Chain A
Amino acid sequence: MMLTVKNLAVAYDGIDALRGIDLTVAAGELVALIGPNGAGKSTLLNALSGVVRPRSGSISFAGRSLSRTAPHRISRLGLLQVPEGRQILADLTVDENLLLGQLALGARKQRHDLASVRALFPILAERRRQLAGSLSGGQQQMLAIGRALMGAPDMLLLDEPSLGLAPMICTQVFDALRRLNADGLTILLVEQNATRALASTTRAYVLEQGRIVHTGASADLAADGRIIAHYLGTETPDLQKERDLT
């Protein structure tokens, strides 16, 4: 297993945000983690990244326990997070953001360079000297993903990459993720947009109020109308069509 989470619990000021989380991701998988706002999705990713310390439970990545590892070291081990809201460095240029991403490489072998990231997201080549803060939301998301790729992740954690993006840009981002996965990148994709996430992944976990309430093949979860309706709101015809196409 690339990632194994066992019985993980996280609390903020004594109030539980996550309880009894068991989750695994195998090498090469593209797994979705979906759930409503406030379910604890970001908390789980932040616990994996070491930014939030678990109350109990264990996390192991590539056979290595992460419970005592500093967050910047976790990134350098090849477990990289693209955080919610992109968090690009607004005062640095596009290229500087990408170069900064190389820091996570440490002693590991490079898999992406400026050229290959620009090939994946051509807009980043066009805007290379522009301050990242001047990019649109979608461009910032591409920059955030590209920046993580520069650090040669073995596994990528993405926190709501579709948030606030126009549907067309969103499709572009998801296409890129599928292509990266096809090239062997292991991905854990957090989404509120369940329909889209289930359409793009093979396996999924559904998180609600800090617990995993469903897990299984994405297609089965998507077919289960109750899950879509009850936990995740109704889907738009637009997205239904897109899933049928993919």
Chain B
Amino acid sequence: MNAYRIKGKGRVDQRKPVRFSFNGTAYTGYEGDTLASALLANGVHLVGRSFKYHRPRGILSAGSEEPNALVGTDRGNGRFEPNTRATVLEVFEGLNTTSQNHWPSLKRDVGAINDALYMLFSAGFYYKTFMWPKSFWNKVYEPFIRGAAGLGKSPTVPDPDTYASRFAHCDVLVVGAGPAGLAAALEAGRSGAKVMLCDEQAELGGSLLSETNARIDGASGWDWLKAAAAELAALPNVTVLTRATAIGYYHQNLLGLCQRLTDHLASPPEGAPRERLWKVRAKQVVLAQGAIEKPLVFDGNDRPGVMLAGAARSYLNRYGVKVGNRPVVVTSHDSAWLAAYDLAEAGAKVAAIVDVRPEVAGHLKQRAAALGIEMLTGWTATGTSGRLRVASVRVNPISRNGVFGPARTIACDALLMSGGWTPSVHLFSHTKGKLDWNEEGQMFLPGERTEESRCAGAGNGSFGLAAALAEGAEAGADAAVDAGFKAKAATYKVDGEVPLMGVSSRELTTDRNASKAKAFVDFQNDVTAKDIRLAVREGFKSIEHIKRYTTNGMATDQGKTSNINGLVIASDAVRRPAPAVGLTTFRPPYTPTTFGAFAGYNRSELFEVTRKTPIDVWAEENGAVFEPVSLWRRAWYFPKPGEDMHAAVTRECKTVRETLGMFDASTLGKIEIVGPDAAEFLNRMYTNAWSKLGVGRCRYGVLLGEDGFIRDDGVIGRITSDRFHVTTTTGGAARVLAMMEDYLQTEWPDLKVWLTSITEQWAVIALQGPNARKLFEPLVEGIDLSEEGFPHMSVAEGRIYGVPTRLFRMSFTGERGYEINVPARYGRAVWEKLFEAGQQFGITPYGTETMHVLRAEKGYIIVGQDTDGTLTPEDAGLGWAIGKSKPDFVGKRSLSRPDMLKADRKQLVGLLTSDPNTVLEAGAQIVLDPNQTLPMKMVGHVTSSYWSGTLGRSIALAVVEGGRAREGATIHVPMPGRTHTARIVGTVFYDPENKRLSA
């Protein structure tokens, strides 16, 4: 158990074992382990297969940059996540994990044949390989690509977790809690500024957690870290967020932080969110993201057991895990030598340090010699062996003029590599900050900034602990000063640190056939140096194109370990300097982020606002089926036991026509328009004339856009001379009010009139049917409901059941109708009372479907269903609603544009199908000649179509080119299965004389 763990070493709690499983095998780790460190402690390096070639892969890194070690994690109760990086996943009791991209097992994988078909999958394979023959697409290529594409498996059940969200505002936000970030946060915190410090890891410290040599102000790095963390925790103005990754840096210093709240817990508390997305607006930002180590690119650099030297050092010093007993180091940078020393001191037999540089600093050699490590400077790695774990490395000396000496094979169980370090400029790059190429360091560094931000430490190219602390403190102090506080940077004394140098290189040269080398640049997308060179040979010169052609850097790790290697190789192949080849743009999120985090609270019932009327509860209790209408949910129909929708709607329609129905119309938009210029304002907005509308009367109004097309409609009542009650469509309420405000504020600010939304002030109950008046005449006080006193299209204020009401007489069914507005909180009670009282007339509640059928029988349009933003009032048969004598109204000028006067405009007509039982599909296209060649000329479409129980047949409304002139003609409606015929008729199917309105 934990054969590779060193007792007492590292920061994990070795008194607290944690049991977990990987591919069904039980293992033990310790609290504080990541899955990667716990597996390595158990000697497990093989953790997955690569995506394209299914090559066995191990753990490359010790951080969020990991391209290889992706696993599926099962946290129980349907909580499954693919592609979790083993290097950031904290182990907990009961964690189940599985490897990916293999079948039937990790150790024997059929797909690994892809590895042998290497030539087939080189650069651009997506674009080239599967082109020919065409007949292979459906049966061979596509299933194969689909099988191979993607990484892990998708979860099979909806995510059971919840997610949270929070806004924050601060003076200084520090991203990254390594030495630079800590120093910055301390300085800013001491100034009294409101500070937030975030780090993606579970504990603060960054590179300090893996550093055991250096001392700060006389204390060990870890003691200093402890003191710094304690000081920050004690400052009330400082908020520290761990497990919080800064995923994106947006305009005006807005950063998104994704905080993992419960993923590390064996049993999260009930109702605890899994993650929280912080949206932080900071006056000043300090970016201390650190640096990422570069792999070396050579044949076989991807075998399990080959890892970054800095990662090996982290596993040793932070987790107490030796990654091997017989490691070899291959490097072009001094920092890898430290890994060799630390491992040797921990008891590993370091077989050799292979450094491609002919010369290295004397002090490095002295220490290696003292530890008995063989040094091969001026040597290079040219291959590795070992199927499921690296077993040896092949190395050659190279003379100063580039001549290869004979190869040597060194046995090893781990191969630690370093090609130097790349500053993490991702967040700075999100801001479109300029990046400057540093030729000496072969790296991009933050240049001119676009936001109030500063970069510090390794992320700014200032490597080493002393530099990080100094630059961090300075950045923190400066940020605090710029945010309006007084601060001065502290100085730190660092001992035990040696300067670390290195060279950066393209792929390592080899004495073998380079075209056969599997020297990986992008481990996750299986892109090799050869692929990049091939792309250049095929004519790609810009890194943006090379990236897309080879897929280098396009995997879920966004090329954190591969971008610079890819660029340097491409620039070598193109024979142009790296900055001329370019750097691909980094985009948020910095690391893969769950959709849940972005959705936050907005899922399930909180996905969107679901607006419900005051009567909705009654409808639900009485078995209504609902449909969404804009944000509202509305009662669609009220089925009785045994009824389907058709039966229910037919019954509801019949009851309304024969006796009485009630309908919840509360969702209709309502606007109260008040002021001496109210009528004039309506004159200018609506097509109709309003000045002469009497108090107590109402009128149907049509609203156009300035382009002359119908935008909305509704009934408008005049309550007093200066007060109008305007109704709009349900979906148009907000839009209409905004349009009115626009004209009022910006075109006619001189008008004395004010608009107030009263949609939700009033609950609206429509009573429709021949018995409507009989039902509520006895219930209403203060309004003369007689035919003369309250004719069709009247409005009055009074009381019903003692509650104030605005009563409209209007009809959207063709029957005698009233709309009773009562203050919303009384809506349900009045509805219930009316329903009770209506029993004597056999009253039925009805929903939106019956409302639609009844209005279609009368040819009343629904804006947005029968109109689509291209219909003028004339097209819709509403020419009568245009106040012809008005000098102007919104949209009037457009109605005389030549296009608006054409005879072949689409016009609203009625349709009667030849077979009365055929109900056309709404949206079906209309043609004049069903035998014409394809593509047919479509002359219109069906806008509304229903079964009319009243008429005992189907009816439809449609728009047809020159439709009104074609009345009586037969048209054809191709639908799946067959083509139907129908006759063009007028739009009013029922009671064209409107006798029933007063029946």
Q: Is the A/B pair a real complex? A: no
Interface of B toward A, CB cutoff 8 Å: none
Interface of A toward B, CB cutoff 8 Å: none
